[in-house]
Structure 1
Amino acid sequence: MSRALGSALAGGALLLLLPGGGSASPAVTRIVVGYTERGYACAPAFEQELGADVIGKIVPLRADVLRFDSSESASVLSLLHADPRVRYAEVDGIVRALRVPNDEFLPTQWSVTKTHAEQAWDLSTGSSQVVVGILDTGTDPGQPDLGGKLVAGYDYVNNDQDPSDDNGHGTAVAGIVAANSDNGIGVAGYCWACRLMPVKVLDADGTGFASGLAQGIVWATDHGARVLNLSLGTPVDDLTLTAAAQYAWLHGALVVAAAGNESSPTVDYPAALPNVLSVAASDQSDRLYAFSNSGARVAAPGENSTTGRGSTYVSFLGTSSAAPVVSGIAGLAFSLVPGATPAQVKQAIETTAVPIAGVVNGRVDAYATLHTLAPALAQPGTPAPGRAAPESTPAPATGGTRTGAPARRTKVVTGRVRQGRNASVVIATGAGLLRAAVTVRQGGRARIAIRLLAGRSAVASARGAGRARLRAEVRARRYRLLVSTTSRKPLTFTLTISYPNGGA
């Protein structure tokens, strides 16, 4: 039977699947054999009797990948199906992926606003202890926005330890999940501090074997990934993939998978498997894109600006682009509540989604997810792991003595910065005057700077020796204040912000 996996990618197209040791050849057939517990102990001798070439082993699943001459495949399958030591035997099929979109970078990260990610970042920007596995075409280690983000991975296409990206799809996926943020270049990933584990299961053409994907899922789980992003799919069910996804779930990893780009009323596999969080692609109006498969558990923005190979950036469209949005939010959730289980994170994402047509639960909301997991933290001025932590949050005071003057809030935070590592605070203001002052608490008269950003546009900035102040007229919207320094030594600072109350 054919088991094509295709990556749910750009332009409403279907794509990827995974390799597990070499390219396919019409002269040979790959068969994946799942054994009983007793049968697996006898597998080496049994496979030798069959004259099989063993090209892969998935020990936790008691499954081996065997290679035979194509002329023998029908008789071998009949023999395997009749053997009581064999639970299942399937042909390991392949599928080819479409090309990755390579449009020039468009600075329109509406996805972040739609999912309330900026508000979520007030609670957590992630943790370096949380690793997200990117099971894809690999990841480009030379992409500057992914610098310092990658942990050791594996290449199941070439069976080596160099999971470099020779396609571009995996690098684009990785950037949405966890591109470096507050570094003055490129794009912002959803989980700023999370690290990425590249597991190459697709070749340069975006094709691979189902057995390779299963191997990758088990490997990433065993090596500590808490979230596994699968921006790929096949319309055909697969017993080995089913076992691999269940293995991840039982060992503490949440699998997130693209729903597919075939405009189908059903989702692809492995997105359709039990305990896998399936993701459709929605637009700015909270409608599913016409190419997106429907019936997924949730939807997420399907157009994201992200990292390309080298130093490039791309606008990435498809369910392959939507899935890493959810993986990034899951990374934030595990960062905020390290003891959470995959079931708890999956439930939080699903139950807080904003209802829209075409999916079971709705379009994901990053802030609502974190609020549900840790409601006590979801208050104005709450410390965010790895970020500037509020020192105190005085109660709102009236702004002036005039009747009808808008209420004001004062937010005081402390944090640490050094050259190349900024601190960030997100606030929601009403219309009026904003004042901000930053003071170096340790470091004397070291240079310190503060910037007020609306989206990616700078509204105001100030810098000085030991302290800096800024004033700006603001509108009712969300703003971000960035504190930075040229000091190579870490500096402790206090930031005081007074602004018209906007509800946060």
Structure 2
Amino acid sequence: MVRLHSPRRPVRAAALLSPLLCSAVALAAPAVAAADTTHDASNDALAAGSASAELRALPAPLLGQLDVSERLRATDALTTGTDGVPVALTVREGTRLQVVRLRAENGRARALVALLDGQPSVESAGLDTVATASDVSAAAAYDDPYRSMQWALDRLRHDQVSALPVAGPAPVVAVIDTGIQGSHPDLAGVQVAGYDAIRGTAIAPGTATDPNGHGTHVAGIIGAVGGNGVGVTGFLRSARIMPVRVLGSAGTGLGSTIAQGMIWAVDHGAKVLNLSLGGSGVDAQEQAAVDYAEAHGALVVAAAGNQGDAANPVEYPAGFVKTLAVGATAQAGDAIAPYSTHGPQVDISAPGDQVTSTYPTSVYANDSGTSMATPYVAAAAALDWAAHPSFTPADLRDHLVRTAEDLGAPGRDDFFGAGLVDPLAALTDSAPASTGSPTPDPAATAPATPTPEPTTTPAPSEAPVPGATPEPTDGPTPGTGPETAPVPDPVEAAPAFAVTLAAPAAGPTGVVLRPVVTATGGAVVSDVDLQVDGRLVAVDRSEPYRLYVAATALRQGRHSFVVTVHGSAPDAWARVSAVVRLPSAVELSLSRGVLTVQPAMRPGARVQELTATVDGRAAARDAAEDGTGALVRHLPRGSHAVRIVLVDQLGAVTEVRRTVRVR
């Protein structure tokens, strides 16, 4: 069974989109309040909660904040006709944003804006101007209203990439997923004919459907129309997206169906195959489809997975040799996302946290996961191929890896792979390597006599962190000589250092580590560094050593801490590693149908916001002045899915999901 590679699927647009480790935002169509159809509403009717036809355009939270006189003024200013002055609002309800488009009577638009802009739920209000772009493909034309929320585009230098001369049409990118909402206004004109592998039917351009939403989100990351004044901006300037549905409404599907969709896409002209999905086992049909794609000139880009720990390897098809496997980076500090599955198969990484994109029904949503990182790499592959049309799939894969921005440990590592995909570097590379022939399958060229698998030698001087689960790690391999030269093993020599580490000290602003280093044989410490979840976060070069991690970089849950001591000599080093589990910052208790939510904050931390969702519906919200916060809710009999999101004063986010049963 194959599943999606966003850590959770957003619920329908009418409910809160549940976040993974970070708050999620739904940018939805306005809710419609129950209303009276009479235009000349009396004061009594307005006070009783009914509304005129004009007021029906206002979302319920905003309508409830207007008093009687304000409702009358709004009714006088609003019009249901098409000749009025366009006005736009952004209204917040919890973590949801609604974009509301209204029409005002001539001469009353600015008064209406002033009235509504002062309401607590209104984030912004203004005249909805209409712009005509002379060249919608120009980088300067990206005036889409949610472009400012797309941090990943800024990190990947999208504006600079878009300013480069167009080398040629980008190849077709197949989104092999849950489908696409073909009628979405931000995906209009970018779709080619597709295929529903579940039903075995062809899909005409613009008619695809998506009962889940995941595929629509992925498609928008690749190619949402930029500069049209609507929604978001996709990475490709002029995308051609092929919707291929292989997963059902629950976001799961069979390997054989996925393989069928991949083969169909290749046979019908797709050059880049985006698979933001994966399963835990090797599937023979998927393997054959990956081989078929490369043999027929197509590159498969797949999500590494969202397990995020050493016990869960990279999933398939990302684990296949001929696939470009993608990990996810977090929004803060170029860190690896905690959920991003790591291992030797990871080739490259891309932004995956809080990615804003298209979503059914004609709305927008934030989502997180390697599912969201993968389409950025697929889009980069399409651009790189357009600039270098002679590339084979192997050439393209190698070029993207070679031009990636190195993150984490120097060189390739199991968390980031080669590093962050860098489309600008790939497109401006002065000497791209092109072999002109496919990369041979390692299995086909393997020697007849199997090579013994090398054994792992533990790193010297390892000490466990109290209260944590130690994980042995290998020391670095010194020397850069030719491959045929023997590589000395640093473990065979007497270690020059020993390092011990007390339990991390958690404070209101972060975590402090104080490693103690003992040198032997006259060795000199060069520096001591700390990596958290594969990302270098701190370095100290003088005693007493102090390594600090900001609280905003640590979410509740599992983290890998690795402290390494480097000496002035290349073979002098020591390392200690541990898995540190930060306890949940939220406690739940259930008694006689009353669910109580109470923060369990670390010392010095305060609650900024605490929200609860029960069975997919917003249940309660608290932003207590005293910084403690508590939520109580009466639940009916039965089983209930509870989601709690807590944000502290430093911006650190905790999400807790539980199933509770009321008897």
TM-score normalised according to structure 1 size: 0.54
Superposed CA deviations along residues 324-345 of structure 1, whole A, max 9, x for unmatched, are 0101111111222223221222
Q: Where does residue 204 of structure 1 map in the other structure?
A: 249
1:153 Cα shift? Answer: 0.4
Number of aligned residues: 289
Q: Distance in 1 between matches of 2:399 and 2:306?
A: 26
Q: Where does residue 282 of structure 1 map in the other structure?
A: 329
Q: Where does residue 7 of structure 2 map in the other structure?
A: 10
Q: Where does residue 352 of structure 1 map in the other structure?
A: 403
Alignment equivalent of 2:339, drawn from 269, 291, 308: 291
Contact 2:170/2:382 (<8 A) preserved: no
1:197 Cα shift? Answer: 0.3
1:108 Cα shift? Answer: 1.8
Superposed CA deviations along residues 142-172 of structure 1, whole A, max 9, x for unmatched, are 1111000111001011222244211100000
Give the aligned residue type for 2:232: V
Q: Where does residue 245 of structure 1 map in the other structure?
A: 290
Instruction: Note the aligned Cα RMSD (angstroms).
Output: 2.4
Q: Distance in 2 between matches of 1:100 and 1:271?
A: 24
Q: Distance in 1 between matches of 2:19 and 2:360?
A: 11
Q: Is 2:429 the counterpart of 1:364?
A: no
Q: Distance in 2 between matches of 1:139 and 1:289?
A: 26
Q: Distance in 2 between matches of 1:236 and 1:207?
A: 14
Q: Distance in 2 between matches of 1:193 and 1:184?
A: 16
Secondary structure of 1:314's counterpart equals: strand
Alignment equivalent of 1:340, drawn from 365, 386, 391: 391
1:313 Cα shift? Answer: 0.6
Alignment equivalent of 2:352, drawn from 261, 277, 302: 302
Greater Rg by CA: 2
Contact 1:155/1:199 (<8 A) preserved: yes
1:238 Cα shift? Answer: 1.2
Q: Where does residue 181 of structure 1 map in the other structure?
A: 226
Q: Distance in 1 between matches of 2:252 and 2:320?
A: 21
Q: Where does residue 449 of structure 1 map in the other structure?
A: none
Superposed CA deviations along residues 297-352 of structure 1, whole A, max 9, x for unmatched, are 11100032111113201112100000001011111112222232212221121111
Give the aligned residue type for 1:149: V
Q: Distance in 1 between matches of 2:431 and 2:226?
A: 24
Once the two structures are superposed, the pairs formed by residues 447-458 of structure 1 within 5 Å of their partners are none
Give the aligned residue type for 1:301: P
Q: Is 2:154 the counterpart of 1:117?
A: no
Secondary structure of 1:267's counterpart equals: coil
Q: Distance in 1 between matches of 2:339 and 2:223?
A: 26
Q: Where does residue 103 of structure 1 map in the other structure?
A: 25
Contact 1:349/1:369 (<8 A) preserved: yes
Compared CA separation, residues 122 and 180, structure 1 to 2 (3 A): same
Secondary structure of 2:281's counterpart equals: coil
Q: Is 2:213 the counterpart of 1:156?
A: no
1:128 Cα shift? Answer: 4.3
Give the aligned residue type for 2:379: G
Contact 1:116/1:367 (<8 A) preserved: yes
The structure whose RCO (Cα within 8 Å, separation 6+) is larger is: 1
Compared CA separation, residues 264 and 237, structure 1 to 2 (3 A): farther
Alignment equivalent of 1:268, drawn from 315, 328, 337: 315
1:100 Cα shift? Answer: 9.6
Q: Where does residue 214 of structure 2 map in the other structure?
A: 169
Contact 2:221/2:234 (<8 A) preserved: yes
Q: Distance in 2 between matches of 1:235 and 1:168?
A: 23
Q: Distance in 1 between matches of 2:196 and 2:322?
A: 26
Q: Where does residue 416 of structure 1 map in the other structure?
A: none
Q: Distance in 2 between matches of 1:317 and 1:208?
A: 21
Long gaps (5+) in structure 1: 15-97, 376-504
Q: Distance in 2 between matches of 1:150 and 1:306?
A: 16
Q: Distance in 1 between matches of 2:165 and 2:192?
A: 21
Q: Where does residue 236 of structure 2 map in the other structure?
A: 191
Compared CA separation, residues 124 and 349, structure 1 to 2 (3 A): farther
Give the aligned residue type for 1:270: P
Compared CA separation, residues 247 and 8, structure 1 to 2 (3 A): same
Between the two proteins, what is the percent identity of the paired residues?
40
Q: Distance in 1 between matches of 2:326 and 2:362?
A: 28
Contact 1:194/1:331 (<8 A) preserved: no
Superposed CA deviations along residues 347-391 of structure 1, whole A, max 9, x for unmatched, are 12111111223132111111011112777xxxxxxxxxxxxxxxx
